[in-house]
A and B are shown apart, each in its own frame.
Chain A
Amino acid sequence: MNKTFDNRAWWLVVPVFLMVAFNALIPLMTVVNFSVQESFGDNVFFWSGVRWFEQVLNSERFHAALLRQIIFTALVLLIEVPLGLAIALAMPRKGPWVSVCLVLMALPLLIPWNVVGAMWNIFALPDIGFLGKLINSLGIHYNYTRQPLGAWFTTVLMDVWHWTSLVVLLCYAGLVSIPDAYYQAAKVDGARPWAVFRYIQLPKLKHVLTIAILLRFMDSFMIYTEVVVLTGGGPGNSTTFLSIDLVKMALGQFDLGPAAAMSIVYFLIILLASWLFYTLMMRNEAR
C-alpha cells in the first residue's frame, strides 16, 4: 500500500543476494553445467548438448519414477487437504481446549524428518512394531519390507501423520479470522451447516487452501528422507520416487550427466505445476 522510497535500503539486501548466489545460483549453474556436458573425471568435459535430457526423458526408469511420484503426491493431497480441513472445522474456536488442540497438532511438525522415518520403520515392523502386529493380528497379512502395497500404505500413512497438521493449522488460522457477523448472518438466514461451509467458510479459506495445497504439493513431490529411512525405496523399486531415483543415479552409479539433466527436469516440473496451481486458484481474483 503505502511505501517509503529510500534507495539506501538496497544495500541491506546485498548480503541476502550473496547468500542466495552461493546457496542456490552457483550449485544450480553447476548442475546446468553437468547436464550439457560429459565428464570422465579429472575435470575433463566434453560438450554433449541435449543428449542427457533426451536420455532421461525417454528412459523407462524416469517414467516409472515420475508416475510413482505423481500417484504419491495425488494420494497425499487427496487425503491430507480434506482431512486437514475437516479437523480444522471440528476444532474448538474458543475456550481452554484451543491451546491443547493446537499443541497436539503442532507436535508431528516438530519431529525431524529422519526421526519420522525411523519411528515408522519400527512402528510398522510386522514382528515387533505396534502397527505391524496390530494389522497382522486382524488377520491381514502385512509386511511393508516385502509387499509393495504394504510399503505404499505405510509411506502414505506416515506422510499423512506427519503433514496433515500443517493443513490443519493453516485452515484453522483462516477460520478464526472470519468475523462472527458472518456466522450470525448465516444463522439468521437459516443456512444449514453445509451452506455455511460452502458459502462462507470455503470462499474465505480460498487463499489459505491455495497455500496449503502448494506447500503440500512441493514438499510431497520432493519427499526423500522419510522414505529412504522407512523403505529405502523398496521393496524393489516400488517406493523409489523421483528424488530417491535421482540420488541413486548420481551417487550410486555416478552418472552425473543424466542425474543433472534429471534434476533440471524435476525442478521445471515443480515450478510449472506450482505456477499452474496458483494461477488456477487465483483466476477469479483479478477484477
Chain B
Amino acid sequence: MTLELRNVAKRVGAQTHIHETNLVIAEGSFNILLGTTLSGKTTLMQLMAGIQKPSSGEVWFRGRNVTQMPVQKRNVSMVYQQFINYANLTVYENIASPLRLAKLPEAEVASRVNKAAELLRLVPMLQRRPHELSGGQQQRTAIARAIVKDSDLILLDEPLANLDYKLREELRDELPKLFAGRNAIVIYATTEPTEALLFGGNTATLHEGRVTQFGPTSQTYRRPRDLITAQVFSDPPINTAKVVKRDGEIVLSERIKWPAGKAGTAIPDGEYTLAIRPHHISPIDHGNGRAMVEGRVLVTELSGSESVIHFDLNGRTWVSQSHGIHPFEVGSTARLYVDVEQSLFFNAKRELVT
C-alpha cells in the first residue's frame, strides 16, 4: 500500500531535471522534499502525481503500475505557493468544487465542506469570495479544497512561502493534524530546513535533481549520509573545514587542533571534511570536552534571545548560534567552544564516516 518510484528520471532535451530516483513512500505518511529553489522539488512532485511523465522508470501505486495514468484519474490534490482559488465562487463553493466534480449528493457535500471549513477555521467566511479574504484565509481555502475529497496523494508545493511569518507558524502547527488518521500520502515541498524539522515525518533532501537521502526527518538531519545532505539540511549553513586526524587529534591547521574525543577516535587516521552545526559552537564553555577556537569576528547578529556570530576561522567563514546575548566587537577575536562530540566527518567521496 505505497507509492513507489522505480528508477524514475526526467530529462528535457540535454538537461536532466531529475536523476534516477528510487523512493518508497508509505500510505498515511507525511513526507517533506527539502531543497533550494530549482533543486527539482516541483518536478519530482509532478512525476509522482502524473502531471509529468518520467523519461524513464516507473511509478507504482498500491501495487499497480500507474506510469501512463494521467493525473485526472489518480485522485490527487495539490496546493501551490500562490493562493489559487476560483475568484467568482464563494469559499463554500470553492471547497465544494472537487466534490461537485465527483457528483456527490448535496447532503454529503455540505457535511464534508463544513467539516473541512471547521478544521481550517473558515466557517465564518464560507459565504465570502476569495478577494475578501486575507492571504492566510485564501491559502486555508486552497488547503480545505485539497483535503475535502479523500485524495490518495496530497501535494503541497511550498504552500506557506507567501504567508506572513506568524501565519506560517500557525498553519505549520495545524497542517499535520489535518492529515492525521487519513490514508493519504502527503508530500510537502519546502526550502526551509527548520520547517522540515518541525513537521517531523520523513524528509527527502534534494540537490540539483538528485535525492541525496530519504528517511525519518530526525535521522536525515542527525545522520546525513553525505556532505551535501548535511549542507542542504542545515539552517544556518553548516560549518565545514578540511581536517586531518592523526595522533588522536583533529588538526585544522598548525595552530587549530583539538583532542579527537569519542566521535573522532572512532575513525581511522587520514584526511576528512569536518562538518559541525552552528548551534554546537558557543561562546560559553559548557564543559563536556569542548574545544576552544579563536576566530576573528566578522558580523554579530543578536536577536532578542540568541546570538549568531559569523567569524573567520583559518580563512573560512564559520557561524556560531547560541542562546543568550553575546555582543562581540567586529574585528575582535572571539573565543568559541566547539562541541567536538557533535562533529560529522566525511571522507574524500563526501560520505559520512562513523
Contacts and interface: CB of A to CB of B under 8 A. Distances in A.
Interface in A5-47: 5-6
A253 interface: no
11 contacts: A2-B46, A2-B51, A2-B52, A3-B52, A4-B51, A4-B70, A4-B71, A4-B72, A5-B53, A5-B70, A6-B70
Summarize A's interface: helix, strand, loop or mixed: loop
A6 B70 CA distance: 7
Leading 7 A-B pairs by shortest Cβ distance: A2-B51, A6-B70, A5-B53, A4-B70, A2-B46, A4-B71, A2-B52
Contacts of B70: 4-6
Contacts of B46: 2
Nearest to A2: B51
Interface residues of A, number: 5
Contacts of A4: 51, 70-72
Interface of A: 2-6
Nearest to B46: A2
B187 to A, nearest CB: 16
Nearest to A8: B70
Interface of B: 46, 51-53, 70-72
Contacts of A2: 46, 51-52
A6 B53 CA distance: 11
Nearest to B72: A4
A3 B46 CA distance: 10
Contacts of A6: 70
A67 B70 CA distance: 56
A75 B216 CA distance: 70
A5 B71 CA distance: 10
A4 B69 CA distance: 10
B43 to A, nearest CB: 9
Contacts of B53: 5
Contacts of A5: 53, 70
A59 to B, nearest CB: 48
Nearest to B53: A5
B12 to A, nearest CB: 11
A106 B321 CA distance: 62
A3 B43 CA distance: 12
Nearest to B52: A2
Given A2-B52, A5-B53, 9 more contacts: A2-B46, A2-B51, A3-B52, A4-B51, A4-B70, A4-B71, A4-B72, A5-B70, A6-B70
Nearest to A4: B70
A2 B80 CA distance: 14
B72 to A, nearest CB: 8
B103 to A, nearest CB: 21
Contacts of B71: 4
A4 B70 CA distance: 7
A5 B46 CA distance: 13
A1 to B, nearest CB: 10
A126 to B, nearest CB: 55
Nearest to B68: A5
A101 B6 CA distance: 59
Contacts of B72: 4
A2 B17 CA distance: 13
A150 B8 CA distance: 71
A6 B50 CA distance: 11
A220 to B, nearest CB: 38
Contacts of B52: 2-3
A281 to B, nearest CB: 24
B161 to A, nearest CB: 18
Nearest to A6: B70
A239 B70 CA distance: 58
B153 to A, nearest CB: 16
